Amino acid sequence: MQQTLRQLYQQLLKHYGKQYWWPAKSPFEVMVGAILTQNTSWRNVEMAIVNLKQARCLSPQKICQLNVEELAQLIKSSGFHTVKAKRLQAYCAWYVAQGGLKKLKRFKTQRLRAELLKIHGIGPETADAMLLYAFLRPVFVIDAYTKRILQRLGWIQGMEDYETLRALFEQNLKPDVNVFNEYHALLVQHAKHVCRTKPLCQQCHLYAKLCPAVSGN
DNA sequence: ACCCAGGGTCATA
DNA sequence: TATGACCATGGG
């Protein structure tokens, strides 16, 4: 499995090139984006972030100070805005209470992950996206795309839970922040180019290279 | 008009 | 523990 996961990475990288994630100018912007993009296309999130910047509200303090209705209006384009406004404030309240980025960077990864998961509205994927793309920790982010692609390749059943899949990657790859960064981004990129419904896409260049038995070659 | 997107929480059985 | 409802906008 170590070899196949590595081959998948090489194939994706060769085909799509580097993705240079996360599209944000600061760690805090990554964190905000991670919450806003929950079950939402990145397009809609970008508009919300632009609104926050124009209103000069893209800081933990400002987000805490705004009332929820105002905040919800600013992020309206990202969908679920009433829910996400609360989540942003819950996250920023914690962020400020912990003393900001300098203090948080001192946390060990395990501890930081556990603390993030206690925050209302921060689940495993959002926490891991923050850990990898904002805190630069070697944590592999699993999402629906990752699961679907592995299933199409015939490498998993599809019933595995989040932690099982995360362990699959983390235990079979060297803990390299740059590789984990590109790998997850490449899986997202690839998922946009393959059929969502059909169990197998014959034209997909990956299958011939990675599982000839399945692709029929 | 229908489908879904870079999820998470909560109520129910 | 395991489903299902719910949150809601914008683009295809």
Q: Which helix (H) or strand (E) holds A122?
A: none
Interatomic CA–C1' length for residue A121 and nucleotide C7, angstroms:
12
**Tokens encoding A157:** 């059943």
Q: Which helix (H) or strand (E) holds A152?
A: helix A144-152
Say if pTM beats, i.e. exceeds, 0.85. yes
Instruction: Provide the pLDDT for residue A212.
Output: 58
Interatomic CA–C1' length for residue A163 and nucleotide C2, angstroms:
17
Asked if pLDDT for residue A152 goes beyond 50, the answer is yes
**Which pLDDT band, with edges at 50, 70 and 90, does A216 fall under?**
very low
DSSP 3-state percent helix, strand, coil across chain A (nearest 5): 65, 0, 35
Q: Which protein residues have their Cβ less than 7 angstroms from some atom of strand B? A: A 21-23, 33-34, 37-42, 44, 79-80, 83, 120-127, 129, 133, 143-145, 188, 192, 196-197
A65 CB less than 7 Å from any atom of strand C: no
List bases, strand C, within 7 Å of protein CB.
2, 7-11
Instruction: Provide the pLDDT for residue A139.
Output: 98
